[in-house]
Amino acid sequence: MTPYSCIIVEDEPLARNLLSAYISKVPRLQLKHAFSNALDALEYLRENPVDVLFSDIQMPEVTGITLLKLLKSKPLIILTTAYSEYALEGYELEVYDYLLKPISFERFLKAVEKGIARLDGNNSAAGTQVHIQEMQTVPPVDYIFVKDGTKLIKINLSDILYIEGLKDYVCIYTPNRKIISLQTMKSLEASLPSDRFVRVHNSFIIALAAIEEIEKDRLVINKSTIPISDTYKKAFREIVDKRQIGS
C-alpha cells in the first residue's frame, strides 16, 4: 500500500528531529522534507502537494497559522505547539488534530491513526490496525543526545533529575553531573516523554520519578528546592493527584 506523503515545518531542531523519528516508525507515512521555516515550506507546497502537514505554530517571520491561511489547497493538517491557547484558531482553519508539546509517541500515533483512517476513507480499518500493531512493537527511545560545546553527549532519560533553563542555555542535572547545553527549554521539552517529565516553571522541567517532596508551591529533588509557578501548578497537581494513594 502506497504511503502517504508528509512534511514537517518546525523551527526547533530537536522537535523537528523528534517528529522525523516518529514518522520513520509509521509505515503508512513517507517524510518528503523537514523545514525549519514556513516560507520554505510554502514554496515547496506550491509545486509539491503532500497528504499530511505537521506544523508548529510559533515560528519566526511566518507562523504556522499564517502558513495555513496562505495555502490554497490544504493537506490533512496536524498542528504542534507548546501553547494551548492557539488550539481554537487552529481548529477554525480546518486543522485535523492538535498536538500539545511535549508530544509523546502514543499521542502522535493516535493522531496519525485517525488521519490515515480519514485519508483511506475509513475503508481499510483492518489494514490500518495491522500497521498500528507493527508500530507498537518499536521500542521507545530511552535516551537523548545534547550538545555540549563541540560534543554530543548521550543522556539516559532515567538519569535526568531536572532541567533548568538559563536564557539560551539549559542545565541538565543527573545524580553524578551537570550538563550545560546551548538550546531552548521549548526544544528540549518537545523531545521528552510527557508521561515522565513535566514542566513546573518557565525555568524548570522535572522528572516525576525523581520527586522527593511536594509542598504548596515547591518540590524537592536531590536536596534541591524547585519552585512550582502558578502557570503550571494546576496541570502538575492533576498529574500528582492521579498517582496519590488514598486521595
| Res 229: pLDDT | 92
Length of the chain: 247
Q: Is the pLDDT of residue 191 over 60?
A: yes
What angle is formed at CA 233 by the lines to CA 229 and CA 235, rounded to 5 degrees? 140
At 126, the pLDDT band (50, 70, 90 cuts) reads very low
Q: Distance (Å, rounded) from C-alpha 21 to C-alpha 219?
A: 33
Structurally, at CATH architecture level, domain 4-135 sits in: 3-Layer(aba) Sandwich (3.40)
| Res 226: pLDDT | 96
| Res 122: pLDDT | 47
Query: Which of 127-131, 149-153, 197-201 shows the lowest per-residue confidence on average (mean pLDDT)?
Result: 127-131
Query: Which of 138-147, 149-158, 172-181, 213-222 shows the lowest per-residue confidence on average (mean pLDDT)?
Result: 138-147
Residue with more model confidence, 41 or 58: 41
Cell numbers at residue 146, please?
545534547
3-state secondary structure the chain: CCCEEEEEECCCHHHHHHHHHHHHCCCCEEEEEEECCHHHHHHHHHHCCCCEEEEECCCCCCCHHHHHHHCCCCCEEEEEECCHHHHHHHHHCCCCEEEECCCCHHHHHHHHHHHHHHHCCCCCHHHHHHHHHHHCCCCCCCEEEEEECCEEEEEEHHHCCEEEEECCEEEEECCCCEEEEECCHHHHHHCCCCCCEEEEECCEEEEHHHCCEEECCEEEECCEEEECCHHHHHHHHHHHHHCCCCC
> Rounded to two decimals, what is the model's pTM?
0.52
At 92, the pLDDT band (50, 70, 90 cuts) reads low
At 141, the pLDDT band (50, 70, 90 cuts) reads low
Q: Distance (Å, rounded) from C-alpha 180 to C-alpha 157?
A: 16
Q: Distance (Å, rounded) from C-alpha 205 to C-alpha 226?
A: 10
Residue with more model confidence, 145 or 226: 226
Q: Enumerate the CATH 3.40.50.2300 domain ranges in the chain, comma separated.
A: 4-135
| Res 39: pLDDT | 92
Q: Is the pLDDT of residue 88 over 50?
A: no
Q: Give mean pLDDT, residues 30-56.
A: 94
| Average pLDDT in the chain | 83
| Res 53: pLDDT | 96
Residue with more model confidence, 76 or 194: 76
| Res 203: pLDDT | 94
Q: Give mean pLDDT, residues 194-203.
A: 89
| Res 22: pLDDT | 94
Residue with more model confidence, 236 or 243: 236
Residue with more model confidence, 160 or 168: 160
Q: The domain 143-242 belongs to what CATH superfamily?
A: LytTr DNA-binding domain (2.40.50.1020)
Are 6 and 32 within 8 A, CB to CB? yes
| Res 218: pLDDT | 94
| Res 140: pLDDT | 53
Q: Which amino acid is at 57?
A: I
Q: Give mean pLDDT, residues 28-47.
A: 94
Q: Enumerate the CATH 2.40.50.1020 domain ranges in the chain, comma separated.
A: 143-242
| Res 153: pLDDT | 85
